Chain A
Amino acid sequence: QVRLVESGGGVVQSGRSLRVSCAASGFTFSSYAMRWVRQAPGKGLEWVAAISSDGNNEYYADSVKGRFSISRDNSKTTLFLQMNSLRAEDTAVYYCARGRGAGGNSYFDYWGQGTLVTVSS
């Protein structure tokens, strides 16, 4: 069955960096676009970043553009999110999700359980 498992979250000081990962299994990882979605404590969902199935195209929400970088290793079926210059407002649970339809732009059919990133000042 499809499984997405995030890891790498934790407490980090404002201005520092952190990389979170998402290990995928149960499907042909290299055939699917993937996305990161975050949810601040008690708040709604926010799309953060997207990457094409081959890793050649990346897209970012304006709120993280220039600070975050999405990547993937199809040989290790793992998705990454490198987060630099972290701010308090980046505190959230970060979910990875599999994109479907229209190049992965239609909907997200599987989600991981999330990893909590807390940025302290």
Chain B
Amino acid sequence: QSALTQPPSASGSPGQSVTISCTGTSSDVGGYNYVSWYQQHPGKAPKLMIYEVSKRPSGVPDRFSGSKSGNTASLTVSGLQAEDEADYYCSSYAGSNNFVFGTGTKVTVL
């Protein structure tokens, strides 16, 4: 199972928006509405930010939103804040109890 493709980096100034793409295939991202996004600060465990494409867990700011079109999912962070600087990973169910993660994107707040 190949990793989902994400851009290595993305950046924006405070208050701006940044969108991260996550490209898979019809066997994972395109085949299921089970795309989730995780935020990871250095040395910390991943934290769930978005699940089932566009749902936000309790406690996650509404500045974070998710969407999907075909084999590509996206995470948008609006109104960037300093604490949003982190690595972000997408993931998708890939059938037969398999799971695949994205390659990861480092978000920098300029």
Contacts and interface: CB of A to CB of B under 8 A. Distances in A.
Given A101-B34, A107-B36, A114-B45, A47 B100 contact: yes
Interface string B30-48: 0000101010000011111
A11 interface: no
B91 interface: yes
A72 B1 CA distance: 26
Interface in B31-68: 34, 36, 38, 44-48, 51-52, 57
B34 A106 contact: yes
Contacts of A77: none
Contacts of B24: none
Nearest to A102: B34
A54 interface: no
Interface in A82-107: 95, 100-102, 105-107
Given A62-B1, A111-B45, A45 B91 contact: yes
B1 A95 contact: no
A105 B3 CA distance: 17
B69 interface: no
Contacts of A61: 1, 98
Contact of A59 (B44, B98, B102): B98
B33 to A, nearest CB: 9
16 contacts: A44-B89, A44-B104, A45-B104, A50-B97, A59-B98, A61-B98, A95-B46, A101-B51, A105-B34, A105-B99, A106-B36, A106-B51, A106-B52, A107-B48, A107-B51, A107-B91
